[in-house]
Amino acid sequence: MPARTAGPLSQDWAPVVVHKRAAKSADARDPKAVAAAIRAGAEIQTVRKFDAGTNKKSAAPVVNTRKLDEEHEPAAFERVSSEVKHSIQKARLEKKWTQAELAQKINERPQVVQEYESGKAIPSQQVLAKLERALGVKLRGKK
């Protein structure tokens, strides 16, 4: 095995030069560059943005979105009928369950049961089916 000799280290590194990107429109917005261009007599292009710097409303007509919504949608959504809410409450009280216990049995939030019993809920067929199974009463269809 030949012996290695310790000598001066040499590196074959080539220099790498990193250049910055040329500024695009930043020079045009630089006040010093604009002032220098004016002094030199160069032509300067200015572009005004549409309605820039104004606090005015656009020329488009003002539209009341509530009126638009009322035109295309019914005024009120269907809510749980009083017969259904009383049936739910009566069946729950017969089983001596709280609203939270009934909600746990049907795997829903207690707020859902409270809304159905108060008549504020928009009826869902899935929730009504769960309530029918848990309480053993008929809530949908003909009685």
The string of pLDDT tens digits covering residues 7-52 is: 567 777 788 888 776 655 555 567 787 788 888 888 777 776 666 6
> Which of the listed ranges 5-9, 79-83, 111-115 does the model predict with the highest average pLDDT?
111-115
Q: What is the mean pLDDT of the chain?
A: 79
CA–CA distance, 85 with 71 (Å, rounded to integer): 30
Residue 60 above 60 pLDDT?
no
CA–CA distance, 67 with 65 (Å, rounded to integer): 5
Question: Cα separations (Å) of 128 from 1, 6, 94, 111, 143?
Answer: 90, 89, 18, 15, 14
For the chain, list the domains and their CATH numbers. Answer: 82-135 (1.10.260.40)
pLDDT of residue 54: 62
- Higher pLDDT residue, 73 or 12? 12
Q: For the chain, give the percent of residues with pLDDT over 90.
A: 35
How distant is the alpha carbon of residue 66 from its chain centre?
Answer: 21
Residue 70 above 70 pLDDT?
no
- The closest alpha carbon to 135, from 91, 89, 84, 100, belongs to 91
CA–CA distance, 108 with 83 (Å, rounded to integer): 21
DSSP character at residue 139: -
- The closest alpha carbon to 83, from 72, 94, 75, 91, belongs to 91
Average pLDDT rounded to a whole number, residues 54-60 = 58
| Tokens found for residue 83 | 């017969």
Question: Cα separations (Å) of 137 from 21, 118, 122, 133?
Answer: 75, 18, 19, 7
pLDDT of residue 41: 82
pLDDT of residue 7: 59
CA–CA distance, 17 with 31 (Å, rounded to integer): 30
pLDDT of residue 1: 55
